[in-house]
Amino acid sequence: MENYFHVRMDKRAVNAVSALGLAHVGDGVFELLVRVQLCHGGKLLPADLHRATVRRVSAPAQARRAERMLPLLTEEELAFFKRGRNAHARHGAPKHASCEEYAKATGLETLFGALYLLGRRDRINELFVQTMEEEDHAS
């Protein structure tokens, strides 16, 4: 039986997945990290968890995190980020985000999706922790 919590695909297989497919996986990975971080902090009331999660997984928030993450990326990671950043449909940006923010958010999600499928969960966590915002600690 396949264990999708600990999936490990080779690079060729990951490269065969579309950028938006990788972003689809990375969106879930990123949101799960945010939810766990918020629950681990234990300071929010249940009614506030959803609002705090939405604030952190929004395209503008992800774009800010991506900016802080860029200097930390390897060449391979940067290639995944750029692949996602350049692949999104510019006309599909949400109302609350600019096209540039949406592109960067898609790049971040593509990177996290690729790293997850490659089995590099420690690296995902390292990038997530190193790029936390002050508001992450305030909640």
**Is the sign of the CA dihedral 73, 65, 136, 115 positive or negative?**
negative
Catalytic annotation, pick one of 27, 48, 122, 136: 27
- The answer to whether residues 138 and 38 touch, using CB atoms and an 8 Å cutoff, is no
Question: Residue 110 and residue 112: Cα distance in Å, rounded?
Answer: 6
Instruction: Look up 122 and say whether it is catalytic.
Output: no
**Is the sign of the CA dihedral 64, 91, 23, 86 positive or negative?**
negative
Annotated catalytic sites, by residue?
27
